[in-house]
Structure 1
Amino acid sequence: MRADDHLCEHALHREELLKGHFLHVVRDNVKLPSGKEATREFVLHPGAVMVIALMDDGSVVLERQYRHPLNTVFVEFPAGKRDAGESSGVCAQRELQEETGYVAREWAYAGRLAPAIAYSDETIDIWFARGLTPGPRSLDEGEALDVLTATAQELAIWSRHGSVFDGKTLVGLLWLQNVQSGQWSLDWRCQPEMPSPFQPPADLP
């Protein structure tokens, strides 16, 4: 018996509820640890990336982008959904160039976050990039966003006062502060490579 068996649910049957252009929603019938059955409705997601791109002066590349569900323009780190069959590293390179125009000389994989664990299986891989060279952007049709730079201190102030409240960007700020302070280290490489195989730290609870 595994240590977490008393917490885990087991899927019995899956029903597709919605298959749209962007969202894929399913309902699973699951067996609870108690032996009873329940349903779980959630969004399937192919995964995404977020890029913390460092300028030579230590500031970072950010975006201002309108998000329709909240009718708000958000300040965010560059990020995007992985295409079918696309690796996380290739997606990170593509999203940075398409949205900001920057190409990076070095990359470092930082970690992974799950932004909506109650209703989606989405995970976002966090990448750092440095040695940036500017170039033209390649925005998708209908995509509109501004590119800006800010220091970690400025981003922290904006977050503290509530003008930055995108979840992945707040996690990115946590990583940025710890990397720049020397508390957390990164393995920089010429190409964005995932640890192989990906293993969470052994000291996690």
Structure 2
Amino acid sequence: MTDSNLVETKVSSQELFLGKFLHAFRDTVALPDGNLASREYVVHPGAVMVIPLLQLESGDIRVVLERQFRYPVGRVMIEFPAGKLDRGEATFLCAQRELLEETGYTALEWSRAGVLHPVIAYSTEFIEVWFARGLKLGDQNLDDGEFLEVFSTTPEQLLEWCRDGNITDGKTLAGAMWLQNFLSGMWPLSWMPGSSPVSS
């Protein structure tokens, strides 16, 4: 298979907006048939999402989640812990930092599951997905102006919320799929030791 009949080529680019977080452009592109078209998109620094596994003394597994108000959609969302990369930051260090800052947990073991592109029609954003286990609870260190609630639930309840529409966040839906396949044994993970991140 070849992509030459699908690829669009940039002809020119115009900056539309430069904010603290997002950078928007409008490009003119040449289509595979030679015609020109306009493409508007947002440049995003990338992010991580963490699927924290909390093992109880009984041996049962719970997952750590968050409730946070998301202004663009005007509602409180249930999500896995996540956050954007700082400039030059490695994704593993970002995952450790975000887990600690948002939930107060550190983890003894980590595994990189993969990557997802949540909004391919209009953003360069990617989200790298990490699992964390061997959790130890410490202190949250939320950013100024950040308000969220941390709680845990069973994988079964998480999947019910996804099915019933109580969870609609795309990255968390994808994370639930990864979790379900990991727990079933279909998608094994390779674990590595964690370290103690420095919260910024």
Tell me which interval the TM-score lies in, with the shorter structure as reference length: over 0.9
* TM-score, structure 1 normalization: 0.91
Deviations 1:170-192 (A, max 9, x none): 00000000000101010100148
Q: Which residue of 1 aligns with 2:65?
A: 62
User: Residue 97 in 1 paired to residue 96 in 2?
Assistant: no
Cα RMSD between the aligned structures? 1.1
Q: Which residue of 2 aligns with 1:14?
A: 13
Q: Which residue of 2 aligns with 1:30?
A: 29
Structure 1: 4+ residue segments shifted above 6 A: none
> C-alpha distance in 1, partners of 2:168/2:116?
16
- Long gaps (5+) in structure 2: 196-200
SS at the partner of 1:54? strand
Q: Which residue of 2 aligns with 1:49?
A: 48
SS at the partner of 1:118? coil
The alignment of Structure 1 onto Structure 2 pairs a total of residues equal to 191
> C-alpha distance in 1, partners of 2:35/2:73?
37
Q: Which residue of 2 aligns with 1:167?
A: 170
Deviation, structure 1 residue 25 = 0.4
Q: Which residue of 2 aligns with 1:149?
A: 152
- Long gaps (5+) in structure 1: 193-205
> C-alpha distance in 2, partners of 1:26/1:159?
34
Q: Which amino acid aligns with 1:143?
A: E
> C-alpha distance in 2, partners of 1:129/1:14?
40
Deviations 1:11-64 (A, max 9, x none): 121111000122210111111100111110001001000000000131111000
Identity across the alignment (%): 54
SS at the partner of 1:185? coil
Deviations 1:59-98 (A, max 9, x none): 1110000000111000000000000000110100000000
SS at the partner of 1:107? strand
> C-alpha distance in 1, partners of 2:105/2:121?
34
Q: Which amino acid aligns with 1:18?
A: F
Q: How does 1:184-203 map to 2 (within 5 A)?
A: 184-191=187-194
SS at the partner of 1:4? coil
SS at the partner of 1:94? helix
